[in-house]
Chain A
Amino acid sequence: MSSMEPHPIQVVVEDDLERSRLTVFFRLLLAIPHFVWYFLWSIGTFFAAIAAWVVALITGRVSGGLHSFLSAYVRYTTHLFAYLCLAANPYPGFTGQPGSYPIDVNIPPPERQNRWKVGFRIFLALPALLLAAVLAGTPGFGGGGGAGGRGDEPGWTGWTGGGLIFIVAFFAWFVCLVRGRMPNGFRDLQAYALRYNAQAQGYVLLLTERYPNSDPSAPPAALPPERPAVQIQVNDDLRRSRITVFFRILLFLPHLVWLVLWTIAAFVAVIVGWFAALATGRLPDALHRFIAAYVRYSTHIFAYLFLTANPFPGFTGAAGSYPIDLEIDPPGPQNRWKTLLRVFLAIPAFFVSGALNSALFLVGLFGWFVSLATGSMPAGLRNLGAYAQRYAGQTNAYFLLLTDRYPYGGPWEWAPTPEAEAEPEVAAA
């Protein structure tokens, strides 16, 4: 559920998760004609965007022809990226026709826009483009992101990690080849990233003056197919103390020291727990409590560091003691094979979590400036941070043997707090 008016640019998902193994296997090669077309269209879009900018500055709106051309480009990019990263199955068309693809974009007709916002659009869009780069591996417009499309530029690719959706696509490729089906969580994660990317493109290309909404719990998010063993509780009111925000990194230091010490103890506990779980088929209660507290504690302190929560966290990782908290299921039986191979099985989840943590870093960075200026955190950024932390918490819980249920990658709806509901998103986030 979104905490604000729906964004005018929406992604619609009508995908059935079925994948053709043959086209999955050759997907990158099959997309070669699209790469050529995408490159040419990006050049055309560059000039069209300049023309649209001049027109919008003079008349206060983008003319119908330019709007259609740029809208088609945004849709086409979304179709292409969805195909490349396995978020959809059919081969996309070359025209960006609305309603022609299972992952599609709804774009509103031309609207009147504030000329000041038009004039400074490229600067206003920079934070959104950075976040889009982290999520979708492209700076939004004319990026040529693609699968490895920027692999020859180590600095850029190194920073964005190739985009979250392409990291997910790498692992999804193997899954789709084996099962012929895309995991629900991975597809939803990619739909979210594509939505944000489309909104960022739409903002830069003057299709709307609404700032992109980073809230992962907004549509097309849906409930997960089964209840995850680790869930996040968000009871944060979005208020931020400017002074603690200003010193946040330094205030984190005592927790960092404590985390290092606790990590050493947790490491020993997990080794013991691994043998116990292999022998008995479940993690002993005492070890479960200890490790769960450790996982919760790390969630609390990173929520504090990256500004997804406000108060200084405690040092015990007590359940229910922090506005961003993990609800971890009690110990239950675990599959011994999964326990035996846990280190290897967790590797994909760690990669995805790492990519989400890049987004979390940006949440902290942008949130720092916004919170310092306004004394509150934008709901969308906070929710994105909470999403990244939920996935990290699930990954840690899985790796540290608290559960044998694999982390669920997709964003899902959660009931926002009344305060969050009332809080408007800060446009400059």
Chain B
Amino acid sequence: MGSDPRGRSRAGGRSRIAKRVALALLLALLAAVWAIAAYLLWRTTVPSGLDVPAVDPKSIFSTEDLQRAIHYDRFVRWDFLATQVVLIAGLAVYAAYGARFVRESAAGRIGTGMLLAMLGLGLLWVVQLPFGLAELWWQRRYDVSHTPYGEWVIDNWLALGSEFLFISFAILIVMGLAGPLRDWWWIPGGFVFVGLALLLTFLFPYLLPGQRPLRDQALVAQAKAYERQLGVGDIPVRVQDVGTETTMPNAEAVGLGPTRRVILWETIVRPPFTFDEQRVVVAHELGHHARKHLWKGIAWYALFAFPGAFIIARVTRRRGGMREPEAVPLSLLVLTVLSFLSLPVENVITRHIESEADWVALELTKDPASAEGAFKNFTVSALADPDPPLWDYVLIENHPTVVQRIGMAEAWRPRHNAGG
């Protein structure tokens, strides 16, 4: 037996150090790739030296409108914060005790994981219900929504059903991969989820209910002209009926490639929005398509999905990893905490993207007055606080504030004039 325990120990130590160095190098490489990708995605057509003037909301809005928007938004933001706190607290409790629901399953490893995930979402639905109802009460009080409470609860219940389906599918993927790959499921899992995000973005236009073609032919013609200017090809503009759900104005760019569309809520194509203001909104949404913001959104998602999946894989190891159903409640908690913590970064990115779309709209329409009018309407009709407190701005606001948007329109004027 000529073995030398000390020699083996030294060799083992060297091997461990080598592994750690290799791991550190790998992580450094991945971080560099991440940073380069983030830099490339961050690039924008908004001029870097843009001098956005400070805008005083009191000089733009009547005291009554301003107070109404501030008062409305204050409740909404505190309701949001309370919901988040309750959500995380509820999931923490579920992460601690949820594994006991394993006994309610005869479905094997993956099926039991599905059950635990669905029950977690179900419990959260119950916990969040009062806050959702409170927000609806507030919206009804301010005439922002006319949805009856019963209808809202039923709609939410049905939406929970689709969430159950989604989470079951996600668990099927994660636990299906974690079976053979154990802690390495996050690598193929990340690719699969990015692929699904791609698919969902592609199909999303077909999932929106109540769409109809835009009837205002002048606006249609204007949209076509903008499409030609931007060189984006044919992108249909559709109007979505939002019924009694909300009176808030909104619009969105959806789809990828052949499914691209601009969706205007019907609340946009009626007063108080003027034709010129509607033009600005259409130009803004076409700007999203022109600057490939949906593709960039998926790329950003990928940048966060892989590290997020990695963290979930690491944290759930104490429960046997994601191959064990007992780890599912903990994974929900980790996912929710990560989502909450990433909100500030996510909002920075979306605000950056929205600013670029605003800039494209200004360049297209060359009508800062109408842009300002549209942004003002968001405060008056959507009751958006034009200048929210910092914590709200960091945690909640995924668009530039109204004063920032008006400021950008103001900043555009001298550049345009200077540029002739």
Residues of A within 8 A of B (CB): 241, 243-244, 246-247, 249-251, 253-254, 257, 310-316, 321-323
Contacts and interface: CB of A to CB of B under 8 A. Distances in A.
Contacts of B114: 254, 312
B111 A247 contact: no
Interface centre among A250, A310, A315, A316, by most B CB within 10 Å? Answer: A250
A313 B165 contact: no
B108 interface: yes
B104 A254 contact: no
Contact of A254 (B101, B103, B160, B168): B168
Nearest to A246: B122
Given A311-B104, A323-B106, 10 more contacts: A243-B122, A244-B101, A246-B122, A250-B118, A254-B165, A312-B104, A312-B106, A315-B107, A316-B108, A321-B106
Interface string B92-114: 00000000010111111011101
Contacts of B12: none
B210 interface: no
Question: B interface, by DSSP: helix, strand, loop or mixed?
Answer: helix
A29 to B, nearest CB: 49
B164 interface: yes
A250 B103 CA distance: 19
A257 B105 CA distance: 18
A321 B169 CA distance: 22
Interface of B: 101, 103-108, 110-112, 114-115, 118-119, 122-123, 157, 160-161, 164-165, 168-169
By Cβ-Cβ distance, the 4 closest A-B pairs, closest first, are A311-B106, A254-B168, A312-B105, A312-B115
9 contacts: A243-B122, A310-B104, A311-B103, A312-B107, A312-B111, A312-B114, A315-B110, A322-B106, A323-B106
B165 A257 contact: yes
Given A241-B104, A311-B106, A312-B104, A251 B111 contact: no
Contacts of A244: 101, 104, 115, 119
Given A241-B101, A243-B101, A250 B122 contact: yes
A243 B105 contact: no
A38 to B, nearest CB: 43
B251 to A, nearest CB: 32
A366 to B, nearest CB: 21
Contacts, number: 66
B196 to A, nearest CB: 16
A250 B105 contact: no
Nearest to B116: A312
A260 to B, nearest CB: 12
Given A247-B118, A322-B106, A312 B165 contact: no
Contact of A315 (B111, B123, B165): B111
A247 B104 contact: no
A302 B169 CA distance: 21
B107 A311 contact: yes
Contacts of A251: 115, 118-119, 122, 164
Given A311-B107, A312-B107, A250 B101 contact: no
Contacts of A250: 118, 122, 157, 160-161, 164
Contacts of A321: 106
A417 B115 CA distance: 26
B107 to A, nearest CB: 4
A183 B108 CA distance: 42
Interface centre among A257, A311, A315, by most B CB within 10 Å? Answer: A311
A314 B118 contact: no
A46 B88 CA distance: 59
A403 to B, nearest CB: 26
Given A251-B118, A251-B164, A254-B165, A313 B111 contact: yes
Nearest to B167: A254
Contacts of A310: 104
Contacts of A312: 104-107, 111-112, 114-115
Contact of A314 (B103, B107, B123): B107
B120 to A, nearest CB: 11
Contact of B107 (A249, A313, A323): A313
Contacts of B161: 249-250, 253
Contact of A313 (B101, B106, B157): B106
A253 B111 contact: no
A391 to B, nearest CB: 23
Nearest to B169: A254
Contacts of A246: 122
Contacts of B106: 311-314, 321-323
Nearest to B161: A250
Given A244-B119, A322-B106, A314 B101 contact: no
Contacts of B118: 247, 250-251, 254
B160 to A, nearest CB: 6
B122 A247 contact: yes
Contacts of A314: 106-108, 111
Contacts of B105: 311-312
A323 B106 CA distance: 9
Given A311-B106, A312-B105, A321-B106, A253 B119 contact: no
A221 B105 CA distance: 32
B123 A243 contact: yes
Nearest to B171: A254
B159 to A, nearest CB: 10
B346 to A, nearest CB: 28
